Amino acid sequence: MSSDSFSDGAERNDSEAVVSATDPIRTKIKQAVTDVHEQTPLAQSFTNFVTINLVANAQLAAGGTAAMSYLPDDVIATAEIAGSNYINVGTLLPFFKDALPEIAYKLHKNGKTWVLDPVAAGIGETRTAILESFRAYPPTIVRGNASEIIALDEIWGLADAAASSTPTTRPAGVETVDEVDTAVDAAKRVALHLAKRSPVGKGAVAVSGTVDLVTDGERTFRLPGGSAMMTKITGAGCSLGGVTATYLAVSEPLVAALSASLLYNRASEIAETKSDGPGSFQVALLDALWNVTADQVATSKIIETD
Amino acid sequence: MSSDSFSDGAERNDSEAVVSATDPIRTKIKQAVTDVHEQTPLAQSFTNFVTINLVANAQLAAGGTAAMSYLPDDVIATAEIAGSNYINVGTLLPFFKDALPEIAYKLHKNGKTWVLDPVAAGIGETRTAILESFRAYPPTIVRGNASEIIALDEIWGLADAAASSTPTTRPAGVETVDEVDTAVDAAKRVALHLAKRSPVGKGAVAVSGTVDLVTDGERTFRLPGGSAMMTKITGAGCSLGGVTATYLAVSEPLVAALSASLLYNRASEIAETKSDGPGSFQVALLDALWNVTADQVATSKIIETD
Amino acid sequence: MSSDSFSDGAERNDSEAVVSATDPIRTKIKQAVTDVHEQTPLAQSFTNFVTINLVANAQLAAGGTAAMSYLPDDVIATAEIAGSNYINVGTLLPFFKDALPEIAYKLHKNGKTWVLDPVAAGIGETRTAILESFRAYPPTIVRGNASEIIALDEIWGLADAAASSTPTTRPAGVETVDEVDTAVDAAKRVALHLAKRSPVGKGAVAVSGTVDLVTDGERTFRLPGGSAMMTKITGAGCSLGGVTATYLAVSEPLVAALSASLLYNRASEIAETKSDGPGSFQVALLDALWNVTADQVATSKIIETD
């Protein structure tokens, strides 16, 4: 498959290598996918109103179960019986400004893992204030597009003085403005910050794009493949964040982020071949999330990079 | 079909009997399904944000019409032109704590019928406070899973002293923890409580599970069949609650609860044969809710039990 | 095709004429549909929770991009990078009463265009107060059913004294109560009112029904066709409003309203032939919104009327 590495958008250079078939990370990925199907873990979501239904259905299709909550007392009570949690800051309501910092603090205090999707990071004062508050009680995994990861890195002030002297001023938002490559350094910095306060001692960041990037700050992987139709339905990224939480309920952050992104890439490729437009694509995506096997996910092409 | 009664999960014993083809209840069920298709009654919903779209689409597919509201003034104004109403306490927001008791009181005062889905009963102080407030101004029908019906029975303190000396302590929630059989007594108690303050003099409880159970406190029925895929999409139960309200607009509570549960069982069986996973299952379920006939619903296997 | 004009519900009389194949309006419609596919404009929505997912997916399927917001600071910040905006008053929450008038004022002050869907106009004091507040800082386009357009005309007090001496007292609401023809005068008055304060100097009103009506107050068009299945899914109208905002990002109000309604009519006709019920109809509708060409939209039958 090495001859494909240029044509699939993942350019290979000296600092990149395809992860071998016997790499232990593949065993862990296969185990995570298998465990979700056998244990049907509950992942709880505090997520936006646009794609809340797809998030829940994707978690179910991946083999998990779902519960959605907004009130702090609901979220904290449900976190006691959930394997992991997911917070998505897409469609903010006024009470979120107080509720989300409180929830992040209590999840941290109670040693609960959670995935953050920083949707539209950089837009709106309220969203910035909420994301800023997560710096002290951070998630275990962050999943977003390049613009959002870069914006979060800036909001948390993780870049060094040199880097911050050239601030990014383009609008970040719900649409991917930046390519994944531009977010590599930010993703690593964010991942290392997550690890510092993680209840499981580790963190991970997944950057979605034409070629996804997943890092725990030490090892970094590129995941080629997927389907361009993912940008023609709403909630592809949001539901990937939710499914990442499903995997986080049974595995370490890096493995959870890899497993979820790989599952989505394989499922979206299948869905593209079975659909005539975005309506049937979403239906076929849910079917494929349900039908893709642990072997299919674990034998995916994975490229390790610096 | 009697030889199937053991294999379909509905064990028959001396206190059970298949409802005959000429039982008047079947005539009433057929009439209810027919009336919905002919009258397209409006059922109003105050429901959770996860499955609100499926609730509306299911009500439309069953032949009714839908309107969703949250503000008390909206709900009470719309109730004036609606045939029935539906309240689902899935994803609570802060203002629900005041709004829902006010709405329940005003629906009661105005003699309006409504269906309650006590999603996640037992989780969170706010939800418990809201459900407790419904004791005085109760719904006409309650539809939930076994855990939720048991939790509601406890929140309302309907069990006698002996029973309450062995409190249930396992977490109730959005997932079915208890089997339907464990909720029979609670369901009957709740149904009798509903009847006491019902604007139509009667109440009913539907417990969803592998074999559904429907009771008005006096007669109790088990409804075998359906599809396990119903647990692999979000909102199967929520939308069943909404369609129960659609039927309640044209029939008495026991008939409405039976009609809706039977329609769902027949539709989900058809959908299972036409789908390749949870995505296409949900699509096929809506199609089947639209295509299943009043005859198919009314001739379903129904088992009467003690 | 003229012999069809009676059978498709669009009665022709002396004051009506089919718009010719060379009418400049058709060139503008074709350009609008083409521009959306090439420019993928962002339309921002503040919309109801029932159909928010379908609105976003329809905007994507039509070729645009979507962002949904509720907080005034989010909405105003996003409006800076959006081509147009959409407000739908379907499922009101308490904070909407202050947020929506503030948003309308700021969109006006910042010269931003927006589309209003006055869902359930006439029901509930809060909704009436919100709609009333829009009189001073009105949308650029209003899209609704006949009942809603008539109710909005009344709330804004646009009818003359003679007309208002025979007030309409039937309940308006989410269901179409009035036929499109009854709303012609109200639609023209509303369109002229919108034009007065429009940032682009013009306004338009689209009335959805068996035969849609679109007017800018000076020219009025009837658009035959479509599918009765549109009334059997939730959100057909809401998502049409959202797609109207997508077109408004690239064209003048009258052209945007015509383009969106024509796209929906063509897409729903295709979807009807490819579906077995409301579930598969919605899937096929999104596919068709994606696949219908600019030519198919621009060569639609359009009837100009007084």
How far apart are the C-alpha atoms of A16 and A8, rounded to whole Å?
Answer: 15
Nearest to C278 among B65, B70, B286 (CB): B286
Residue A178's pLDDT is what? Answer: 58
How far apart are the C-alpha atoms of B59 and A217, rounded to whole Å?
Answer: 49
Residue A179's pLDDT is what? Answer: 87
In this prediction, residue B300 has a pLDDT band, given cuts at 50, 70 and 90, of very high
> Does position A14 have pLDDT exceeding 70, yes or no?
no
**C74/A127 Cβ within 8 A:** yes
Say which CATH number the domain at B150 has.
3.40.1190.20
Test the A interface: residue of B130, B170, B174 with most A CBs within 10 Å? B174
DSSP C281: H
Residue B14's pLDDT is what? Answer: 62
Residues from chain C contacting residue B36 (CB–CB below 8 Å): none
- A193, part of any domain: yes
Residue A13's pLDDT is what? Answer: 58
Nearest-neighbour CA in chain C from A251: distance (Å): 31
Nearest to A283 among C283, C289, C291 (CB): C283
How far apart are the C-alpha atoms of C215 and C221, rounded to whole Å?
Answer: 6
Q: Determine the average pLDDT of the residues in A153-171.
A: 65
Q: Determine the average pLDDT of the residues in A92-121.
A: 98
Taking all residues of chain B, what is their mean pLDDT, rounded to a whole number?
Answer: 92
**A174/C67 Cβ within 8 A:** yes
- DSSP string of chain B, one letter each residue: -GGGTTTTT----TT-EEPPTT-HHHHHHHHHHHHHHHH--EEEEE--TTTHHHHHHHHHHTT-EEEE--SHHHHHHHHTT-SEEEEE-SS--TTHHHHHHHHHHHHHHTT--EEEE-TTTTSSHHHHHHHHHTTTS--SEEEEEHHHHHHHHHHTT-S-HHHHTS---SPP-SS--S-GGGGHHHHHHHHHHHHHT-TTS--EEEEESSSEEEE-SSSEEEE----GGGGGSTTHHHHHHHHHHHHHTTS-HHHHHHHHHHHHHHHHHHHHHT-SSHHHHHHHHHHHHHH--HHHHHTS--EEE-
- Per residue, the 3-state secondary structure of chain A, as one string, reads CHHHCCCCCCCCCCCCEECCCCCHHHHHHHHHHHHHHHHCCEEEEECCCCCHHHHHHHHHHCCCEEEECCCHHHHHHHHCCCCEEEEECCCCCCCHHHHHHHHHHHHHHCCCCEEEECCCCCCCHHHHHHHHHCCCCCCCEEEEEHHHHHHHHHHCCCCCHHHHCCCCCCCCCCCCCCCHHHHHHHHHHHHHHHHHHCCCCCCEEEEECCCEEEECCCCEEEECCCCHHHHHCCCHHHHHHHHHHHHHCCCCHHHHHHHHHHHHHHHHHHHHHCCCCHHHHHHHHHHHHHHCCHHHHHCCCCEEEC
Which residue of chain B has the CA closest to C119?
B67
**B175/A65 Cβ within 8 A:** yes
Query: Which is nearest to B211 in space by CA: B159, B256, B176, B169?
Result: B176
In this prediction, residue B169 has a pLDDT band, given cuts at 50, 70 and 90, of very low
Nearest to A71 among B92, B174, B275 (CB): B92
| Residue C172 burial (C-beta neighbours within 10 Å; 0-12, 13-18, 19+) | buried
Residues from chain A contacting residue B145 (CB–CB below 8 Å): none
**A52/B124 Cβ within 8 A:** no
> Domain tally for chain B?
1
- B234, part of any domain: yes
> Does position A3 have pLDDT exceeding 60, yes or no?
no
**C285/A277 Cβ within 8 A:** no
In this prediction, residue B124 has a pLDDT band, given cuts at 50, 70 and 90, of very high
In this prediction, residue A159 has a pLDDT band, given cuts at 50, 70 and 90, of confident
**B277/A285 Cβ within 8 A:** no
Contact C222, C8 (CB under 8 A): no
Tokens of C17: 């004429």
How far apart are the C-alpha atoms of A202 and A214, rounded to whole Å?
Answer: 13
Residue A163's pLDDT is what? Answer: 53
How far apart are the C-alpha atoms of B131 and A209, rounded to whole Å?
Answer: 45
Give the contacts of A64 (CB within 8 A, at least 6 positions apart): A36, A40, A41, A42, A43, A243, A246, A249
Task: Count Cβ atoms below 10 Å from residue B24 Cβ, excluding itself.
Answer: 8
**B283/A66 Cβ within 8 A:** no
In this prediction, residue B167 has a pLDDT band, given cuts at 50, 70 and 90, of very low
pLDDT in tens, C271-297: 999 999 999 999 999 999 999 999 999
> Does position B178 have pLDDT exceeding 70, yes or no?
no
Give the contacts of A134 (CB within 8 A, at least 6 positions apart): A100, A101, A104, A116
- B117, part of any domain: yes
Residue A284's pLDDT is what? Answer: 98
How far apart are the C-alpha atoms of B268 and B229, rounded to whole Å?
Answer: 8
Nearest to C123 among B60, B74, B282 (CB): B74
In this prediction, residue A66 has a pLDDT band, given cuts at 50, 70 and 90, of very high
Which residue of chain C has the CA closest to B82?
C173
Distances, alpha carbon B51 to alpha carbons A51, A246, B248, C51, C204, in Å: 11, 19, 20, 11, 34
Nearest-neighbour CA in chain C from A175: distance (Å): 8
In this prediction, residue A15 has a pLDDT band, given cuts at 50, 70 and 90, of confident
Question: In chain A, pLDDT over 90 holds for what percent of residues?
Answer: 87
How far apart are the C-alpha atoms of A259 and C33, rounded to whole Å?
Answer: 39
In this prediction, residue A248 has a pLDDT band, given cuts at 50, 70 and 90, of very high
pLDDT in tens, B21-46: 999 999 999 999 999 999 999 999 99
Question: In chain A, pLDDT over 70 holds for what percent of residues?
Answer: 89
Strands C114-117 and B65-68, sheet pairing: unpaired
Hunting for tokens 């009854």 — which residue is that?
A: C182
Q: Torsion angle, CA of C129/C134/C136/C142, rounded to 10 degrees?
A: -140
Which residue of chain B has the CA closest to C282?
B283
Distances, alpha carbon C183 to alpha carbons C120, C176, C305, in Å: 15, 11, 14
Query: Which is nearest to A220 in space by CA: A19, A86, A20?
Result: A19
- B244, part of any domain: yes
pLDDT in tens, A220-229: 999 999 999 9
Angle at A173 between CA A167 and CA A179, to 5 degrees: 70
This model of the complex carries an ipTM of 0.92
| Residue A166 burial (C-beta neighbours within 10 Å; 0-12, 13-18, 19+) | exposed
Tokens of B207: 């417990």
pLDDT in tens, A264-290: 999 999 999 999 999 999 999 999 999
Residue B306's pLDDT is what? Answer: 86
H/E stretch holding C265: helix C253-273
Taking all residues of chain A, what is their mean pLDDT, rounded to a whole number?
Answer: 92
Hunting for tokens 């058809």 — which residue is that?
A: B270
- B85, part of any domain: yes
Residue B200's pLDDT is what? Answer: 97
Nearest-neighbour CA in chain A from B233: distance (Å): 6
- A9, part of any domain: no
Identify the residue with better confidence: B71 or C160.
Answer: B71
Residues from chain A contacting residue C78 (CB–CB below 8 Å): 120, 123-124, 173
Nearest-neighbour CA in chain B from C107: distance (Å): 25
Is the pTM here over 0.90, yes or no? Answer: yes
Nearest-neighbour CA in chain A from C52: distance (Å): 5
- B2, part of any domain: no
Q: Torsion angle, CA of C181/C187/C192/C198, rounded to 10 degrees?
A: -140
How far apart are the C-alpha atoms of B286 and C277, rounded to whole Å?
Answer: 7
Q: Determine the average pLDDT of the residues in B233-259.
A: 98
Residue B163's pLDDT is what? Answer: 53
Half-sphere exposure of A124 (CA within 13 A, CB side): 29
Contact A173, C78 (CB under 8 A): yes
* Strand ordering across the sheet containing A65-68: A17-18, A303-305, A220-223, A212-215, A204-208, A141-145, A114-117, A84-88, A42-46, A65-68
Query: Which is nearest to C87 in space by CA: C128, C44, C124?
Result: C44
Which residue of chain B has the CA closest to A55?
B50
Q: Give the domain range for residue C255.
A: 17-305
Q: Give the B-side interface with A, CB within 8 Å.
A: 48-51, 53-54, 90-94, 120, 123-127, 171, 173-175, 231-235, 275-280, 282-283
pLDDT in tens, A27-60: 999 999 999 999 999 999 999 999 999 999 999 9
pLDDT by 10s per residue, chain C, length 306: 333 333 444 444 567 899 999 999 999 999 999 999 999 999 999 999 999 999 999 999 999 999 999 999 999 999 999 999 999 999 999 999 999 999 999 999 999 999 999 999 999 999 999 999 999 999 999 999 999 999 999 999 998 644 544 444 444 444 444 589 999 999 999 999 999 999 999 999 999 999 999 999 999 999 999 999 999 999 999 999 999 999 999 999 999 999 999 999 999 999 999 999 999 999 999 999 999 999 999 999 999 998
How far apart are the C-alpha atoms of A58 and A243, rounded to whole Å?
Answer: 7
**A278/C61 Cβ within 8 A:** yes
| Residue B162 burial (C-beta neighbours within 10 Å; 0-12, 13-18, 19+) | exposed
Q: Torsion angle, CA of A68/A70/A73/A78, rounded to 10 degrees?
A: 10
Residue C306's pLDDT is what? Answer: 87
Contact A239, A54 (CB under 8 A): yes
Residue B13's pLDDT is what? Answer: 58
Angle between helices B236-248 and B253-273 (to 10 degrees): 140
Residue A244's pLDDT is what? Answer: 98
- A3, part of any domain: no
Task: Count Cβ atoms below 10 Å from residue B243 Cβ, excluding itself.
Answer: 30
How far apart are the C-alpha atoms of A28 and A257, rounded to whole Å?
Answer: 12
